[in-house]
Structure 1
Amino acid sequence: MDTFIQQLINGLMLGSIYGLIALGYTMVYGILRIINFAHGDILMTGALTTLSGMQLLTQHFPHLNALVVLTIATLLAMGVCALLAMGIERFAYRRLRNAPRLAPLISGIGLSVLLQTCAMIIWSRNPLMFPQVLSMDPIAITAGDAQHPPAIITVTGIVTFLLALSAMAGLWLLVGFTRLGRGMRAVAENPRVASLMGVNPNRIITLTFAIGGVFAALAGVMMASNYGNAGFSMGFLPGIKAFTAAVLGGIGNIRGAMVGGVLLGIIESLGAGYLGELTHGVFGSNYQDVFAFIILILVLVFRPAGLLGERVAQRA
């Protein structure tokens, strides 16, 4: 039971990050029907920009509290990633909206390589240490015993989960109860009709990319804070897994992205934890990536629309 609780905690924390990243995929797909494969590298840019911001603030304002420094640097990174995402939409995707579906896909992959190369030039190829501002001291949740250590959680893990949950709830309220959200839903339904009703599709699409960039930056800071490092390649695999989470929940469905992210994180953690125990450590956390792609294959084969997605009939 201690192992189960520990892996469940790990899965919730990991899944909340996946869900936050998946929101960027699902919002863009819901409106444009394209997959922005550069989204994971926006996450990477957010984490490294936050790190640079913290270093500059610490250098020029050494008496600032570390938590204040992290907060200011994260807000700065959110702004940078929002502008980056808006630029990606304007220069890489806008002219390809009516192109064959393969064209935006290739454009996104090319952007991913370009962003990683730029990050290597700016921040070097080596992973950089990310300051541990919040406490990483373990907090025991279960009693445990001599043979089975107790289930633990950290302050950083708690803050990560609560921040992700708050961001997801905020987006749900934004889409469901604001003028911008109504515009997003209208453009997703039919851009031409929405424009006739006074909605500017280009503005809505640009803001959608910006919101996705903000969430990616926040997810990047969460990842870097939990793992203690950041590097040019840190966004690739989480980006692919977040895409898997979006497909699992029903890509284009905001609630589906949240549910898919949490489910994927729990499945990965439980699978890696119990596989490690059954094989006495031969297979374990190093093989947890396999579970994400097994889930992706199964979902695409048996339920392509995802758990919360709806099957849409194709017009003749």
Structure 2
Amino acid sequence: MLQQQLVNALSLGCVYALFALGFTLVFGVLGVINLSHGAVFTVGAYAALQLVTHLDLPLWAGLAAAAVVSGIVGVLIDVLVLKRLRKRNAPHLIPMIATIGLAISLNSAIQGIYGAANMRFPAGLVPDDAIQVAGLHMTVIELVIIFLSFALMAALMLIMKRTQLGRGLRAIAESPKAASLLGINVEGLFLLTSFAAAALGGVAGVLIGLYSNAVFPLMGQPMLHKGIAVIILGGMGDIRGAMIGGLFLGFAEVLSVAYIGSTMRDAVAFGLLFLILLVRPQGLFGKVLERKA
């Protein structure tokens, strides 16, 4: 049933969009493609899993823990690595290589601590009840994913467009040097951006762990590839593009599985993305952001 497949695609696309939002936020403000974002995503999933498993806490506490722990990891990455590279005016390729190394280290540490086997969130953490609306079957976890993803995306858009903080971030995205001359705390906002982006990634990690019923050390690897595809499709550094791109990828994957076959899932999704970029290389929303100073 097409309508049911669209509901399934919406929930998956929301997770992709949430993951890509953190990715594109770092690129838009810091000008860095943070390739450790997939590993931070995994850290969030494991942080929530350990909290709800060993302390028997509810899902909302696990989501909060994932956001905080992932956000702290994001700040540490910025302070220990990215900030030092900024001070040395390192070329754009250097932070990418550095964050690849960080991702490998984080993934290896997680595997060393928890092992390589799949882990699962406790049964009953999310009710198994389903809601029937106009013939559509929606589980509680799908409703949670859709609601939470859209709420976080809307909050981020509101902050960026309507608040003093958002104006400061947009000023830094245009020119960090000019923003500093205007009295904006550039380094402070860099840290805040790193925390917020990583927190979004951590929450996405929990949601995908619940959606797929599996948490494992390399779960961030395919998400990283899809996150890169999403922000390129939507337009590098564009929040609207990350949202639309994530939803597009989710719909393409689910519909290809339903009507073509699971073995063609990635081939169809990334093939469509390739065709779109042939027509519009800069992505759906504008051109690639460039540093002016």
TM-score bin (small chain): over 0.9
Give yes or no for contact 2:53–2:121 (8 Å, CA) kept in 1.
no
Query: Match of 2:120?
Result: 129
State the partner residue of 1:107: 98
Aligned 8 A contact 1:86 1:206 in 2: yes
Matching residue's letter, 1:130: F
Structure 1 stretches lacking a partner, 5+ long? 59-67, 144-150, 276-283
Deviation at 1:138, TM superposition (A): 4.3
Task: Give me the TM-score of the superposition, normalised by structure 1.
Answer: 0.86
Q: Residue deviations 1:10-56, cap 9 Å, x none?
A: 11111100000101111111122221111111111101110111123
CA distance in 1, matches of 2:290, 2:114: 47
Residues 256 and 309, structure 1, Cα contact 8 Å, conserved in 2: no
Structure 1 residue 299, shift from structure 2 partner = 4.2
**Whole-Å Cα distance in 2 between the matches of residues 306 and 175 of structure 1?**
20
Distance in 1 between the 2:59 and 2:239 partners? 28
Quote how far apart the aligned CAs of 1:287 are: 2.9
Contact 1:78 1:217 in 2 (8 A): yes
**Largest Rg, 1 or 2:** 1
Q: Which amino acid aligns with 1:127?
A: N
**1:44–1:313: structure 2 CA closer, same or farther, 3 Å change rule?**
closer
**1:148 counterpart residue number:** none
Instruction: Note the 1:128-147 alignment, pairs <5 A.
Output: 128-132=119-123, 133-141=125-133, 143=135
Q: Indicate the SS of the match to 2:75.
A: helix
**1:1-40 paired onto structure 2 within 5 Å:** 2=1, 4-40=2-38
**Identity fraction in percent:** 37
| Partner SS for 1:152 | strand
Partner of 1:209: 194
* Greater Cα offset, 166-175 or 221-230: 221-230
Match of 2:155 among 152, 170, 194: 170
1:82 counterpart letter in structure 2: G
Task: Tell me the distance in 2 between the aligned counterparts of 1:233 and 1:51.
Answer: 15
Query: Separation in 1 of the partners of 2:186 and 2:60?
Result: 33
Amino acid at match of 2:188: R
Partner of 2:75 in structure 1?
A: 86
Shift in Å, 1:293: 2.7
State the distance in 2 between where 1:206 and 1:44 align: 20
8 Å contact from structure 1 (residues 20, 215) kept in 2: yes
Give runs of aligned pairs for residues 284-299 of structure 1, distance below 5 A. 284-299=261-276
| Counterparts of 2:72 and 2:184, CA distance in 1 | 22
- Distance between the aligned counterparts of 2:115 and 2:64, measured in 1? 23
User: Separation in 1 of the partners of 2:213 and 2:131?
Assistant: 18
Map of 1:239 onto structure 2: 224
The separation in 1 between residues aligned to 2:197 and 2:291, in whole angstroms, is 28
Asked if 1:224 corresponds to 2:209, the answer is yes
CA shift in 2, pair 1:311/1:88, >3 Å: closer
Distance 1:103 1:242 in 2: 20
Instruction: Describe the shift of the 1:238–1:314 C-alpha distance in structure 2 as closer, same or farther (beyond 3 A).
Output: closer
Distance 1:258 1:288 in 2: 20
State the shift of 1:229 in Å. Answer: 1.8
Provide closer, same or farther for how the CA distance between residues 83 and 171 of structure 1 changes in structure 2, counting only shifts above 3 A: same
Runs of 4+ off more than 6 Å: 311-315
**Would the aligned equivalents of 1:247 and 1:296 in 2 still touch at CA under 8 Å?**
no
Aligned length: 289
1:62 match? none
- 264, 269, 280: which one pairs with 2:249? 264
Which residue does 1:196 correspond to in 2?
181
Amino acid at match of 2:78: E
The Cα offsets for residues 155-204 of structure 1, whole Å up to 9 and x where unpaired, read as: 11011101000000010111112222111111001100100011121111
Equivalent-residue separation in structure 2 for 1:223 and 1:314 (angstroms): 33
| Bigger shift: residues 89-98 or 242-251 | 89-98
Q: TM-score, normalised by structure 2?
A: 0.92
Select the residue among 40, 48, 53 that pairs with 1:55: 53
Quote the Cα distance in structure 2 between the aligned partners of 1:218 and 1:190.
Answer: 30
CA contact (8 A) 1:40 1:238 kept: yes
